Amino acid sequence: MTHTPRLPFLAGLPLAVAAGLLMPVQGRINGALGAALADGIAAAVVSFTTGLALMIVISLALPRGRAGLRGILPAVRERKFPPYYLLAGCIGGFFVFAQSFTVGLLGVALFTVATVTGQTLSGLLVDRMGIGPAGKRSITGIRVIGSILTVAAVAWAVSPRFSGTGPGPGELLVPVLLPVLAGFLMSFQQAMNGTAAVHYGTPIAATLMNFIAGSVMLWAAWLIKMAVTGPGNALPGEWWYYLGGPLGCVFIGVGALLVRSLGVLVTGLGMIAGQLLGSLGLDLAFPAPGTVVALPTVLGTLLTLAAIVLASLPWPKGRSSGDTAAITRTTPGGHPDADGPETGGARSRQAGRLGGAASCTAIIQRRTLLCALLGG
C-alpha cells in the first residue's frame, strides 16, 4: 500500500487557506444555479454530478488514480477502516441541504457563524479522539483559545451583514441548529476522507468515493422532491454554472490530503481563513446585491488569520529539569545508565542542544508565516 505523503507545516497550512478560497466562489456559483433552476436541491445535484463526472475521468486517466481504484475494494474487504467511512460524502450532501434550507431564513452571515462554530468545536473533538489519519492530538489551552478567537473573529467579520429585522431568537433556534450540526459533521467528513485516502494510497480515490455517496443521497432527495412538487426550471446554457462541482473536487481532495499532516482542527481553521479571504475578495471585486464591506469585515478577517496562527503553529514546550534528568540517567527500560555521569552529562547537553534547535525552528516558523500573512 502506498501512503499519501505528509506535507511540511509551512506548505500545508497555506494550501488549506488556498482551498478555502474556493468555497465562496463555489457558493456564489451554486447559489446562482439554484436561483436559475428555482430549486436548491437540483442545484446541489448538478454540482455533485459534475464533480463526480470529473473525478471518474481523473481516476481513469491518471496512473495514481487507477492505482487508487484498485485499492478501494481491498481496503474495504480487509476493513482497513470502518465501513461507514464510505458514507462521508453524505455529510457533504447534508451540508448543501442545510445551506439551501436555512440561508433564506437566516441569511449568509448567521449561516456562516453557525457552521464555523460547529466545525471549530468538532475539529477539537475529532483531533482529541484520533479519528483522522494524524492520530490523537491533545487539546491544549492555546488551541482552545485560538478556536474561540476564530469563532469570535468570524462573527465580527460578518457582523455588518446582520439585519436588525426578521424572526425573533426563538423562531431561529431550530434553523440555527441545522447549520451548526452541518458544520460539526464537516470535521468528521474530513477525518474520514483523510483516513480512507491513506489506505487507498491517494486522495483521488477518496474524493471519488465522496462524490459517489453524496450524489446518490442528493439524487434520492431530488427525486422525492420532484415527485411531490414537480420539476423546476430547465438547465441554463452558460458554462460557468457548472463549475461548482469541479471546485468541490479540489476542496474535498485537498482536505483529504492535509488532515494527515495538519490534523482536522488546523485544516478546518485554515480553510475558514481562506473562506473569509475569498468572500472579502469577491465582495470587493464582484459585489452581489446586499453586499456590505465595512471596517469590521476587514479587521475580523485579519483577526481570523491571527487566530489560525495562534491555534496551529507548533509552539515550543519546556521540559523540566527532573524530566531531563530522568531521560539522561536511565535507559529506555527504566534502569540506571551504566555509562556513568560523564555520558549522562553529554546526553543532557545534546538534549539541550536539540531542544534549543526545536525552539528556534518553531520561532522561525511563526515569524515566517506571520510575515507571509501580513504581506512581508
Distance CA 82, CA 94 (A): 20
Question: Could you give the maximum distance between any two Cα atoms of the chain, in Å?
Answer: 84
Give the best-scoring range by mean pLDDT among 149-153, 223-227, 258-262.
223-227
Average pLDDT over every residue of 123-146: 78
* Residue whose entry in the numeric block shows the C-alpha cell 438547465: 235
Q: Is the pLDDT of residue 33 over 50?
A: yes
Q: Is the pLDDT of residue 270 over 90?
A: no
Domain boundaries, the chain: 9-312, 321-373
Distance CA 218, CA 300 (A): 34
Distance CA 186, CA 350 (A): 43
* Residue whose entry in the numeric block shows the C-alpha cell 459585489: 287
| CA torsion through residues 15, 281, 160, 111, sign | negative
pLDDT the model gives residue 239 = 93
pLDDT the model gives residue 366 = 45
pLDDT the model gives residue 317 = 52
Q: What residues have CB less than 8 Å from 287, skipping those under 6 apart? A: 293
- For residues 192-202, b (16+ Cβ closer than 10 Å) or e, as one string? bbbbbbbbbbb
Q: Is the pLDDT of residue 69 over 80?
A: yes
pLDDT the model gives residue 248 = 87
| Range in 206-215, 239-248, 270-279 the model is least confident about | 270-279
| Confidence at 74, pLDDT banded by 50, 70, 90 | very high
- Judge whether 5 and 251 are in contact, CB under 8 Å: no
Q: What residues have CB less than 8 Å from 221, skipping those under 6 apart? A: 41, 93, 97
pLDDT the model gives residue 289 = 66
Average pLDDT over every residue of 345-357: 45
Q: Is the pLDDT of residue 260 over 80?
A: no
Higher pLDDT, 170 or 238: 238
The DSSP-derived string for 230-265 is ---PPPP--GGGG-HHHHHHHHHHHHHHHHHHH-HH
Higher pLDDT, 68 or 171: 68
Average pLDDT over every residue of 112-133: 80
Higher pLDDT, 359 or 206: 206
Percent of the chain with pLDDT over 90: 21
Helix (H, G, I), strand (E, B) or coil at 209: helix
Q: Is the pLDDT of residue 149 over 50?
A: yes
Q: What is the pLDDT of residues 285-302, one digit of tens each?
A: 877 666 667 787 778 778
Average pLDDT over every residue of 42-51: 91
The C-alpha cell that represents 331 in the structure block: 535507559
